[in-house]
Amino acid sequence: MPLRAGRRKKAEAALASAAKPGIFWVPEMNALVVKDLHVTIAGQEIVRGLSLVVPRGEVHAIMGPNGSGKSTLAKVMAGHPDYEITAGKIAMDDQDLLELEPDERARLGLFLAFQYPSEVPGVTIANFLRAAVQARLPDGEELEATDFYARLYEKMELLGMDRSFTSRAVNEGFSGGEKKRTEILQLAMLEPKYAVLDETDSGLDIDALKTVAHGVNSLRGPDIGILLITHYQRILNYIVPDHVHVMVQGRIVRSGGKELALELEERGYDWARDGAAEPAFTR
């Protein structure tokens, strides 16, 4: 959903500031801000000077070829310990995320939907979600079971999930579509401030894709910023982004509106690679 003109100008100013070396400016609004981020793993640099601003209330899509660093960016935002941040900053609203452990980032309102969700044998979806929601509550406040299950069933119905899912172990024996629905169910129950959806369309047939997209669209609004990472334009037919960014060789090389995704579909990533020498922010 588009921002009002004043908020959009602030977002554009944040992008312009983020592109300037040596300047880290957290805009005067709610936003997830990445500034000049450099990330390595096993001595190899994967993310190379990436800057990005995702205001709350908008959906941004990152597209790019395999090996461009998209999933690395998602994992670093969430606090994966295998990656070394050699330069740059990540802030959520006015909080420096790099100072926080992964669980602290989650409690503050950052959510990551995994490209390949893990199985958790012996832990039912209901118990898993109840523990996650309880962890977000203030110390000493107990989750009311009746309210929890009423809300859980409401969200499951929205995603086309049978109530019997609540008694199944998390992702154990699930199809690709079931795993992705479960990720979106977690998103719906936790109601984060920012959601990073890493390849949510991976492995989905058209019916599962439409169901997941419906679930994401139902959560859109002024209280959540969504960063959608994908290879293909297909999912953007159902989750229409406010902005599209092209990531090549570890940095954002081109940004624009939803039309940019259609241009990529037609012209391919070789066209975008031509601008990979330096970061580019274009509207």
Burial class of residue 45 in the structure, from the number of CB atoms within 10 Å of its CB (0-12 exposed, 13-18 middle, 19+ buried): middle
Burial class of residue 97 in the structure, from the number of CB atoms within 10 Å of its CB (0-12 exposed, 13-18 middle, 19+ buried): buried
Identify the structural domains of the chain with CATH numbers, from first to last.
5-114+193-273 (3.40.50.300)
Contacts of residue 89, Cβ cutoff 8 Å, sequence gap at least 6: 24, 33, 34, 35, 36, 37, 96, 98
Residue with the two structure tokens 């096993």: 42
Q: Tens digits of per-residue pLDDT, 15-64? A: 444 444 333 344 446 899 999 999 999 989 999 999 999 999 999 999 98
- Whether residue 281 is predicted with pLDDT greater than 60 in this model: the reply is no
**In the chain, % of residues over pLDDT 70:** 86
- Whether residue 269 is predicted with pLDDT greater than 50 in this model: the reply is yes
Across 142-249, the runs of DSSP E, i.e. the strands, are 169-170, 194-198, 225-230, 243-248
Angle (CA) 74-280-85 rounded to 5° is 35
The tokens for 14 are 């944040």
Q: Tens digits of per-residue pLDDT, 119-134? A: 999 999 999 999 999 9
DSSP code string of 252-278: EEEEE-THHHHHHHHH-HHHHHTTTTS
**In the chain, % of residues over pLDDT 90:** 58
Instruction: Give the confidence band of 13 by pLDDT, cuts at 50, 70, 90.
Output: low
Q: What is the pLDDT of residue 178?
A: 87
Across 74-224, the runs of DSSP E, i.e. the strands, are 84-92, 95-96, 110-113, 120-124, 169-170, 194-198
Other beta carbons within 10 angstroms of residue 106's beta carbon come to 19
15-19, 62-66, 210-214, 242-246: lowest mean pLDDT where? Answer: 15-19
Is 70 in contact with 62 (CB distance < 8 Å)? yes
Instruction: Give the confidence band of 203 by pLDDT, cuts at 50, 70, 90.
Output: confident
Query: What's the full length of the chain, in residues?
Result: 283
Query: What is the spatial distance between Cα 89 and Cα 99, in angstroms, rounded to a whole number?
Result: 10
Q: What is the pLDDT of residue 202?
A: 82
Q: Output the CA–CA distances (angstroms, integers) from residue 269 to 123, 191, 192, 248, 266, in the order listed.
A: 41, 34, 32, 8, 9
Q: What is the pLDDT of residue 275?
A: 52
pTM value?
0.84
Q: Tens digits of per-residue pLDDT, 97-108? A: 999 999 999 999
Phi, psi of 227 (to 5 degrees): -110, 110
DSSP code string of 16-38: HHHTSTT-----SSSEEEEEEEE
Is 247 in contact with 62 (CB distance < 8 Å)? yes
